[in-house]
Chains A and B, each alone.
Chain A
Amino acid sequence: MLVKEGEYLFLEGDKASSLVIVKSGMLVGTSKQFRKSKFQNFGPGSLIGEFSILESRPREYTVRAAENSEVLFIEQKDLMRELEHKPGWFRSTLSFLASHCHTAEENSRKMRIVQALPALLFLFKNHLDVSGSDNITLALLQQKMLVLDNVDYADTEKLLQILEGLEMLRIEGDLVRVSNLQIVPMLYDALQFRALNKQVSPDILPITDQLVLTTFVKAVRENGISIRGTRTTVSADLFIAQAKKTMFGSLTMRTLAPLLQNGMLEAEPAYSEATTLEAIESISGDFEHILDLLELNRIFPLLDKKLV
């Protein structure tokens, strides 16, 4: 079949069950999934529509002849006729290769979204930092993701929707608004620490530490303790009483000590190795920072699940 320069062979999404082989000339394929500057050339020997002949899939591209070209159509019935003479394993091999290719496409798409997360957090945290606002326009973020990491607009939006599912942000029409200004940079730092140092960030806490901090937060909230500046102090009695409910009575000096040692919490009198639980009069900490840490520790383990 001859296709004159400028003529369309078919449109993206057209129903199809044939394979096209380019015998001569040049055809150009474009797709709505590509940006307008992106296209695929099909020169002599190129195949178009492997999945159309194998699985009757709609056309992946809109294909137009860039110059006078000659193409050959192979219909699905030609394939069936050929397979009739082949051993059973041949058909299985063909369908395995097709499904393996689909799996690779799906994995590649997922991987692109996973790999785009650090770039998104980087752009987001810097924008929030410089602008002082809690939002960025979706179009600007998409544009910058394209420039920084060549992430398509649709993938950026998909990634944002995943983060929205984690309640990290909200997509409000043209705006993307963060729920908590501190979480984006904290998450970026935790991911970066894990990637570059091959170990868990100090901000990602063991479950026991999270329980102790949750106890602190609940003790403050449920007893109406006021927050002066950024630090809040809870009496040891209230803290231990709360721990009985939150930690099912498992608060010991051993579970509390790591947080006192790393300064996340402070004891009065000051902590030393000889300190006993009974000797502590009060416990204080940076309430807002502790809330942010707990939020980070809520999101962090969910990220991998949501992304993969």
Chain B
Amino acid sequence: MNGNSRQQVIPPTRSRVKAGFVVYSPESDTRELIILDKGELVAVDKSNGDREIKFKMHPGDIVGVASLFEREPLRYTIEASEDSEVTILSEECLESELKNIPVWLLATLRSLSVRTRELKQGAKRTPVENSLKSLAEYCAHLDSNIKYPLEEFIREFNWLTRIPAATIKGDVKALLRRNFIGLTKDGEDLYLQVHNATLMQIYSDYLHAQDEGTLWSPLRLNLAQKRILVHLTTLDDHVQMEAPEWIAYLTRKGLAIDVSQWITLEDLGCFVAGEENKYHIDQAKVEYYLTAIRYDSNLRGAV
């Protein structure tokens, strides 16, 4: 991997230029690397019709690297602000030099420029990897009593996440297919309405668990535990008992529960510890799990 088969190197051009000489113009199609050996160069932005000096170059400075390696056009005119000496490397000259370096060094140069280009492009793209999950989370915060104009909805969500409008529209359809949202038409305008914000939160959590490769909590519930949850909805959330009392109470109700099942339900947050080792029901959590179970087929997209 040392690539030592030396090839002919095209030498760079060395020139003496007078003050005011244009060394590089952005209007030219050539891509060059300019090294200042002596004197002073200035980078001038003429794009707005004005003449604005963006930076000055001093001996040893180099310009055009990004243009050659990262295909990022050099936007400024490079002019000599005093009599100067410059070395100019054309694309061909650089390529001939790069043919004479080991493969690993060439790969390092390329890797740096690719990484820089990807970072710059990445800043313009959405960072969101699962756009449907993101949309579900967004919808979970909307008011189910409000009909949102679809165009405004898409614009706001696009602004928040930079997810392209076309992708958002596709994801809106995916939510529509699952009956999580409704679309209505009024005149020329379409309106979106979230049927159940909690369900959207559940769907977002479900997708997140899938992404993380973890077992989603409602899927941990067995049949006996599901029956217990249904019974808990009939109770007041102020009821407080110690764990053994809860187990005894539920057993009396014909709902088989052992210590491990109790621990699972507590771990899932259905029972919350209060004072003096007493536990009360978290009805919101219970409702969350029961809603998840009820809409299981919608969540899996099997409707």
Q: Give me the interface of A with B, judged by CB distance under 8 Å.
A: 19, 21, 35, 37, 45, 47, 50, 53-54, 72, 74, 79, 82, 86-90, 92-94, 96-98, 100-101, 104-105, 107-108, 111-112, 115, 118-119, 122-123, 126-127, 130, 144, 147-151, 192, 195-196
* Cβ proximity bits B85-127 to A, threshold 8 Å, 1 near / 0 not: 0010100000001000110110111011101100110110001
CA A150 – CA B137 in complex, angstroms?
12
Contacts of B12 in A (CB 8 A): 87, 89
B112 touches A37 (CB 8 A): no
CA A144 – CA B89 in complex, angstroms?
51
In this assembly, does B155 line the interface, its C-beta being within 8 Å of a C-beta of chain A? yes
> Whole-angstrom distance from the CB of B212 to the nearest CB of chain A?
5
What would 30 A/B residue contacts be, using CB atoms closer than 8 Å? A47-B107, A47-B111, A50-B108, A74-B104, A79-B105, A86-B101, A87-B12, A92-B35, A92-B60, A93-B69, A96-B65, A97-B65, A100-B65, A100-B70, A100-B116, A101-B116, A101-B119, A104-B115, A104-B120, A107-B119, A107-B120, A108-B122, A122-B141, A123-B141, A126-B141, A127-B141, A147-B133, A147-B204, A148-B134, A148-B137
Contact of B62 among A82, A89, A147 (CB under 8 A): A89
Q: A37-B213, A101-B119 are in contact. List 17 more A-B contacts (CB 8 A).
A: A50-B112, A53-B108, A82-B102, A89-B87, A93-B33, A93-B69, A97-B65, A97-B113, A98-B112, A100-B65, A104-B120, A119-B160, A127-B141, A147-B133, A149-B134, A149-B160, A151-B127
A147 touches B119 (CB 8 A): no
CA A74 – CA B129 in complex, angstroms?
35
> Whole-angstrom distance from the CB of B83 to the nearest CB of chain A?
21
The answer to whether A97 and B123 touch (CB under 8 A), given A21-B1, A147-B208, A150-B128, is: no
B159 touches A19 (CB 8 A): no
In this assembly, does B250 line the interface, its C-beta being within 8 Å of a C-beta of chain A? no
Contacts of A192 in B (CB 8 A): 156, 159
The answer to whether A118 and B159 touch (CB under 8 A), given A72-B1, A89-B87, is: yes
Q: How large is the interface on B (under 10, 10 to 19, 20 to 34, 35 or more residues)?
A: 35 or more
Contacts of B127 in A (CB 8 A): 112, 115, 149-151
Contact of A118 among B97, B102, B160, B204 (CB under 8 A): B160
B33 touches A89 (CB 8 A): yes
Contact of B160 among A45, A79, A122, A127 (CB under 8 A): A122
A100 touches B66 (CB 8 A): yes
> Whole-angstrom distance from the CB of A124 to the nearest CB of chain B?
10
Contact of B115 among A19, A93, A101, A122 (CB under 8 A): A101
Give the 10 A-B CB pairs with smallest separation, nearest first. Answer: A104-B119, A126-B141, A97-B112, A150-B127, A104-B116, A148-B137, A108-B119, A111-B123, A96-B65, A147-B137
Is chain B's interface secondary structure helix, strand, loop, or mixed overall? Answer: helix
B65 touches A147 (CB 8 A): no
> Whole-angstrom distance from the CB of A121 to the nearest CB of chain B?
9
B128 touches A149 (CB 8 A): yes
CA A147 – CA B207 in complex, angstroms?
9
In this assembly, does B246 line the interface, its C-beta being within 8 Å of a C-beta of chain A? no
Q: Give me the interface of B with A, judged by CB distance under 8 Å.
A: 1, 12, 33, 35, 60, 62, 65-66, 69-70, 87, 89, 97, 101-102, 104-105, 107-109, 111-113, 115-116, 119-120, 122-123, 127-129, 133-134, 137-138, 141, 155-156, 159-162, 204, 208, 211-213
Contacts of A150 in B (CB 8 A): 127-129, 134
B62 touches A96 (CB 8 A): yes
> Whole-angstrom distance from the CB of B125 to the nearest CB of chain A?
11
CA A155 – CA B211 in complex, angstroms?
20
Contacts of A111 in B (CB 8 A): 123
CA A115 – CA B163 in complex, angstroms?
12
**Residue among B108, B129, B156 having the largest count of chain A Cβ atoms under 10 Å:** B108
Contacts of A92 in B (CB 8 A): 35, 60, 62
Contacts of A86 in B (CB 8 A): 97, 101
B109 touches A94 (CB 8 A): yes
Contacts of A88 in B (CB 8 A): 35
Nearest CB in chain A to that of B136: its residue:
A147
Contact of B162 among A93, A97, A105, A115 (CB under 8 A): A115
> Whole-angstrom distance from the CB of A301 to the nearest CB of chain B?
21
